[in-house]
Amino acid sequence: MVKSKRIIVSSDASGAVQAAREGLLLIIVDVIDMSTTLESALDAGAAAILGCSPDFTRAPVKVAPEEIGQEASRLAREKGRGIILVAEPRVGTEEERRGRCQRVISGIEKGGGVIEAVVPNIGAETPRLVDMKDRVVVAVTDTGGVAFDAAFQESRRLTVGTVARTLKQKGMEPALTAVSRARKMLQETDQGIAVVAASRNSLEDVLAAQFIANLFL
């Protein structure tokens, strides 16, 4: 099916929103560290992953962390398990991280979800900080989280991808995993696939997005 679909590369939260509006399945690429952290969470057995904007963003897009929080709660209730928040700053206290996540926390509380831990966004090693098996993991970050959140307001057809080493994958494996997951997710109604670099100012994201897109061709 993929060969008959559009494959595009875009960037930034605004590019993610446009791709979602066009009916494309999105792969959000934020190598350092959101998508690497979430891929590692899946390695560790997470039931579901979500990206989310912090309370404040300068990106010129609509975000709704409260809605992400309520979706996390819905998914967590289905599993009968808790929610792990991954947040920034990477070096700082839990209080500082929670301070940037009040909107998503509010959504989780309204949805009846339980936050089991708030941990830093440190990529492949993040799942070593807390048990993520069967949990819903929400990454609240400035670039990848914002892009995911903004796209989520237009469509639920999105996932993440990375080229960096994850908890259990190395070399080509993470990129191939992203491609395989997108192929399995792709539906007839999807107009194609958009691989979105979370920030055009992050060369690692731009190069990784192009690399992943080329694997579809």
| Residue 4 confidence (pLDDT) | 78
> 3 pLDDT exceeds 90?
no
Spatial distance between the Cα atoms of 137 and 85, rounded to a whole number of angstroms: 6
Number of domains in the chain: 1
Residues 6+ apart with CB under 8 A from 209: 9, 10, 11, 27, 29, 161, 195, 196, 197
Q: At 208, which CATH number? A: 3.90.1560
Convert the pLDDT of each residue in 122-165 to its tens digit.
999 999 999 999 999 999 999 999 999 999 999 999 999 999 99
Element containing residue 84 per DSSP (H, E)? strand 83-87
Domain encompassing residue 67:
2-216
Q: Which two tokens stand for residue 30?
A: 């934020």
Q: Tell me the per-residue pLDDT of 47-64, one tens digit each, with 9 for 90 and over.
A: 999 999 999 999 999 999
Residue 49 and residue 42 in contact, taking contact as beta carbons nearer than 8 Å: yes
What are the pLDDT digits (tens) for 61-109? 999 999 999 999 999 999 999 999 999 999 999 999 999 999 999 999 9
